[in-house]
Structure 1
Amino acid sequence: MNRYIPELCNPQLLINIEERLRQAMLASNVSVLNELLAPEIIITSHLGELLEKQDDLAAHESGLIKINELKPSEQHIQIHREVAIVSVRMQISGSYNGSPANGDFRFTRVWAVSSRETWHIIAAHIGMVA
């Protein structure tokens, strides 16, 4: 693991980074998403599919996924030195492959301090809220 950097372990910093991620998802900003997603990220979609970083970036870049609205309603953050776990509930409005994709979802993300001493996501899970 990387060396412990106390100033990175600030919950407000994680809130700000989560907001940066939300804005990047809304805009399909592949450059920012590329920066925030670790090269080795493991993503489990709401359909149970296992995805990699390139899958997520390609979906945004190609327009396969379009997010019109991403409204958070709950957020829980736990920080454990160089690792943070974030659970956030989001109301999503958008489309996937041209079909409407709307609903209430919960995202769980595991953030870790990278070798560049910035936070990046190493694992993510998306589930539908019934």
Structure 2
Amino acid sequence: MEREILKLEAQLIAAILNSNLQVLDTLLHDELIFVNHLGMVLSKKEDLAPHINGDLKITELVASDQQLHLFGDTAVVVVTKEIRGIYLDQPFENRVKFTRVWKLFNKDWKVITASSVLC
């Protein structure tokens, strides 16, 4: 199970870097709850909107300090990421710690909730 979650995490990173909406749509649960680094609670639709409309372009995303904890059909991933990109035509660079909760639905893992904090 650990190997599968780590593979999905890698797919998620690649999808974010490429704004691959098909993969993001597959990996994120329709009822996703995401609390971003500004404290805003976002739905899946709101989380994907900057990728859809082109407002966000991630140019670099490097993960470190990744931890994975399994709880039956649920997995929690905590990871620090160095992120560089452009949002609304403004370059940015942040170090962010993410917590993501993956849950198994039938045979598919989905992110059901996530949060991020600047560090």
Structure 1 length as normaliser, TM-score? 0.89
- The CA RMSD over aligned residues, in Å, is 0.8
Instruction: Please name the residue that 1:97 is paired with.
Output: 88
Instruction: Please name the residue that 2:25 is paired with.
Output: 34
Q: How many residues align?
A: 119
More strand per residue: 1 or 2? Answer: 2
Instruction: Please name the residue that 2:3 is paired with.
Output: 12
Q: CA deviation at 1:56?
A: 1.6
What is the aligned-residue identity percentage?
36
Runs of 4+ in 1 over 3 A off after TM superposition: none
Pair 1:124 & 2:78 matched = no
Q: CA deviation at 1:57?
A: 1.6
Unaligned runs of 5+ in 2: none
Amino acid corresponding to residue 112 of structure 1 in structure 2: K
Structure 2 length as normaliser, TM-score? 0.97
Q: CA deviation at 1:49?
A: 0.5
Unaligned runs of 5+ in 1: 1-9
Q: CA deviation at 1:95?
A: 1.4
Amino acid corresponding to residue 125 of structure 1 in structure 2: S
SS at match of 1:101: strand
